[in-house]
Amino acid sequence: MNVDSYLEIFTTLFGWMFYGVLWDVLTETGLVYLPFLGILLDNWREPAADAPIGPASDTSLRRLEFELFAALLVVVLAAQPASLTAFRASTIEYTPPPTLSDPEPTPVNFTSNDSTFGVSGFTDPNAVVETPGWWYAVLSISSGLNHAVIEGLPRATDIRQAMQYARMVTLQDPVLRHEVAQFHQDCFVPSRSKFFRETPRSVLIDGLLNDFGQQDLDWVGSHVYRATNGYYDSYRASVPIEGWPFDRHRDTEYDTANPPPHGRPHCKQWWEHEARGLREKLIAAVNVQAAGFPAVLLNFGFTFNSERFKDTVARTALLNRPPTWSNNELKDRNTATTGWMSGVESTVKSIVSGAGIAVAAGVASLTITVLLQLLPMLQALILLCIYALLPMLLILSRYSLNVMISMGITIFSIKFWTVLWYLAQWVDQNLITSMYPDTNILVSNFLLDTEHSTKRVLLNTATGLMYIGLPVLWTLIMGWAGVKAGRSIDSASAPYGRISGDAGQQGASIVRKAM
């Protein structure tokens, strides 16, 4: 049987194992028979108190027959575990929702190599957990319906997954971070200053700005600086760069008889070289930390090894550099004061910087991606608690048909949350792509920049509420349906309850006439 999340593989078997343990305890202690005693006492006491002896006997017998039959039916269908409807550990599996990058995902089950379920859960793949037939049918119908609906819905574009991968990328290698800082200082800063000082205009520059946008001027891999003469083709590294060989035709400021171990490449070559280029090093770092990110980007219309593809991957790595504190007024130890005030200022800066990073991390954790990971886990744990406590609920309700139907609708409703989340995800993806139909703008707004964009904040808030609001609305509707179903069942047994009242009224009338 298919379940709706990785954790539900674990909680399904353990939930029904707890059910079986609790049912065995209640059976051994005799508590499972107390509801029948309550049925007998109520159906003897109420008719005897409300009707004469003759009609009371008939009423008591009819009500007793109906309630005992209903209670026994509940015991057989929904209380006593049966071997015919048992869960086997090796047959429970989870199939992730299909996406554009993975249209046919591989099911995960007990025997999956990347799972520890068989180690920390049920160690025997042939382990069997017996389940009452009613609940087995409810779970089978719910799971089958969920997967049928999800298969029929269109595929999502994986932009949230791309955003999750993008947040995973950071420049952790200190050597690479130093090289990026060196390139920024020796190439980007002088080129950008020269461009805005001279404000050159040409057909080439206008074409590049039309293709890559004005933001192309504000990052180190700018196509304008790389393609325009007098910028990256003229500036060089101010110091020898590790990994770049000495070139006597280029590095003329050094003695060829005693050359340095490394050379000083031009900025264009330093960035674009296919083997030693800084951009290739950034792409390699992304492939190590978030191997799935380049593959997800291909779903947005990028071509592998294209300029836009390489630029997007490199910019992602550059935007996630660790934060550093800076100050415009620099004196000793990066402070604006000296002496003991310098220590106080440094301490205050550290506290403020740490608090800001903590707040930013807290806000970032409340993203749609985290919500999507959390909600299925809560769903699986809620179902685990329901499965484990069902025996007590059935006994306290005196094996009520109303409770059996209502809890079946409850479990079906909770299981259907999976479909609602997939629907919300699909709507979320299409809202994003409809608001940003241009792929470059889409990637720029959601992966590379504008973290505090008003439109993006509003969109994330609306879709975040949808992930929570749809299950709440659905549960309220199904709760109303469960109440109506319970009332229908109660009304079916109402005539047997009215018999005693009618008999009492007739008996009182006979007594009045006799007097």
Q: What is the pLDDT of residues 155-167, one digit of tens each?
A: 766 666 676 677 6
Alpha helix positions (H), 51-169: 53-74, 117-120, 133-152, 159-168
CA–CA–CA angle 42, 43, 44 (5° rounding): 90
- Statement: residue 97 has pLDDT above 70: yes
Taking residues 221-246, what's their average pLDDT? 89
Q: Give which of 379, 381, 416, 388 is closest to 138, Cα–Cα.
A: 416
* Maximal C-alpha separation, the chain: 139
Adjacent-strand bridge partners of 236: 266
Q: What are phi and psi of 2, to 5 degrees?
A: -85, 140
Share of the chain above pLDDT 70, in %: 67
- Statement: residue 290 has pLDDT above 80: no
Q: What is the pLDDT of residues 40-66, one digit of tens each?
A: 887 776 655 555 555 656 666 777 788
Task: Strands of 440-504 (E only): list them.
Answer: none
What are the counts of helices (DSSP H) followed by strands (DSSP E) for the chain?
A: 20, 5
Residue 192 pLDDT level (bands cut at 50, 70, 90): very high
Contacts of 381 (CB under 8 A, 6+ apart): 7, 11
Report d(CA 34, CA 108) in Å as an integer.
43
pLDDT for res 47: 59
Residue that has been written with the tokens 């992730």 in this structure: 96
pLDDT for res 341: 47
Report d(CA 116, CA 194) in Å as an integer.
58
- Statement: residue 484 has pLDDT above 90: no
What is the pTM (predicted TM-score) of this model? Answer: 0.67
CA atoms within 13 A on the CB side of 97: 24
pLDDT for res 383: 94
Comparing 31 with 443, which gets the higher pLDDT? 31
Taking residues 487-505, what's their average pLDDT? 50
Q: How many CB atoms lie within 10 A of CB 219?
A: 20
Q: What is the pLDDT of residues 406-443, one digit of tens each?
A: 899 999 999 999 999 888 888 877 776 666 666 666 66
Taking residues 179-194, what's their average pLDDT? 92
Are 168 and 290 in contact, with CB atoms under 8 Å apart?
Answer: yes
Taking residues 331-343, what's their average pLDDT? 46
